[in-house]
Amino acid sequence: MKNKKYLIVFNPQTGKKGLRSLDKLITLLGEKDIAYDIHHTESDTQLTEQKISEKLNNYSDVVSIGGDGTLNMLSNVLAFKNIPLGVIPCGTGNDFARHVYNKKDDVFSTVTSDKTINADLGSCSDRYFINVLGIGYDAMIAEETKEDNKILFRSFFYLWNALKYLPFYKEKKVQIESDDFSKSEATFMVAFGNGTFFGNGMNITPKADIADGLLDCCWVGELGIVKKCHCLIKLFSGNHLSADNIEYVQGKQFQVLSENHPIEADGEFVGYTPATIRIEEKALLLKVP
């Protein structure tokens, strides 16, 4: 333990829940005689990534106390660095943590242990994502709420926001190509999952595995307003794959050839198509129960 030193990346927006988790982790590290520093995230993601990257070599382990946005930022800092990442979920959605942990798991024991897996990351242009990337309706919501999506997109009220925009949303034609999949039709949404959940518990890519070397693509085609509502509700149980106008494939790389469609990754608005979306195998050393 003497050579260990943790960098705790703490998102202040986690509030009291985050502070309680920080105190508990600090106590546990003290009991294990593990040194640590705390880095508070800032609203400027690029600046936060730069500051962490500059001092990363001083640490043996990194722990995230935050939500999916914090994990997205850290996945870009830690990709292929071979430094273990521990996850303490304190955001409002915590969708990636839903994939990693069961309710009975002790997250504090997990992040202070040495049990890891070589997890995959997704990539889009020059950015990595750890969980799910979406094009279509979910990305439109992220774009519309990008000024305050730190709260809205991953909050308990994601479904409310989804339903609020629903009557006004018109599906747009999206063209996607991969080795085994070709589509050029109007789509409600298309999601590329490394993990399984997004939108605070919607099980969009239920067959996804963060260590299988594949991205899961769920294509939701053009739907009437009633079927759209049913689809959004079914997403929470993962029972949507048998619904009308849905296709589900796996692959290592997908080309989105259509232009000017918004993209969200891990709940963050990240830009517009066209884009190449691919799996980056064994890119992240992740602590698991």
Determine the pLDDT at residue 236.
78
pLDDT digits (tens, 9 = 90+) for 252-277: 999 999 999 999 999 888 999 999 99
Sort 8 into a burial class: Cβ within 10 Å, 0-12 / 13-18 / 19+: buried
Cβ contacts of residue 147 below 8 Å, gap of 6+? Answer: none
Is residue 249 pLDDT above 60, yes or no?
A: yes
Q: Alpha-carbon distance 78 to 92, whole Å?
A: 23
Q: Give the SS3 label for residue 83.
A: coil
**Are the C-beta atoms of residues 216 and 193 closer than 8 Å to each other?**
yes
Determine the pLDDT at residue 148.
56
Portion of the chain with pLDDT greater than 90, in percent: 73
Determine the pLDDT at residue 84.
98
The stretch 281-288 carries a mean pLDDT of 98
Which residues of the chain form CATH 3.40.50.10330?
5-120
- The whole-angstrom distance between residue 149's C-alpha and the CA centroid of its chain comes to 14
Determine the pLDDT at residue 130.
98
Q: Alpha-carbon distance 249 to 192, whole Å?
A: 10
**Nearest residue to 202 (alpha-carbon basis) of 237, 155, 243:** 237
Which residues of the chain form CATH 2.60.200.40?
127-281
The stretch 74-87 carries a mean pLDDT of 98
- This prediction has a pTM of 0.91
Q: Tokens in use for 166?
A: 């629903």
**Nearest residue to 218 (alpha-carbon basis) of 205, 206, 227, 208:** 205
User: Regarding the domain delimited by 5-120, which CATH topology (the fold level of the hierarchy) does it fall under?
Assistant: Rossmann fold (3.40.50)
pLDDT digits (tens, 9 = 90+) for 191-222: 999 999 988 888 999 999 999 999 999 999 98
Q: Worst-scoring range by mean pLDDT, 57-66, 96-105, 236-245?
A: 236-245
User: Regarding the domain delimited by 127-281, which CATH topology (the fold level of the hierarchy) does it fall under?
Assistant: Tumour Suppressor Smad4 (2.60.200)
Determine the pLDDT at residue 149.
45
**Are the C-beta atoms of residues 231 and 245 closer than 8 Å to each other?**
no
**Helix 158-165 × helix 137-144 angle, to 10°:** 100
The 10 Å CB-count burial string (b at 16+, else e) for 49-73 is: eebbeeeeeebebbbbbbbbbbbbb
Phi, psi of 163 (to 5 degrees): -70, -30
Determine the pLDDT at residue 233.
80
Confidence class of residue 153 from pLDDT cuts 50, 70 and 90? very low
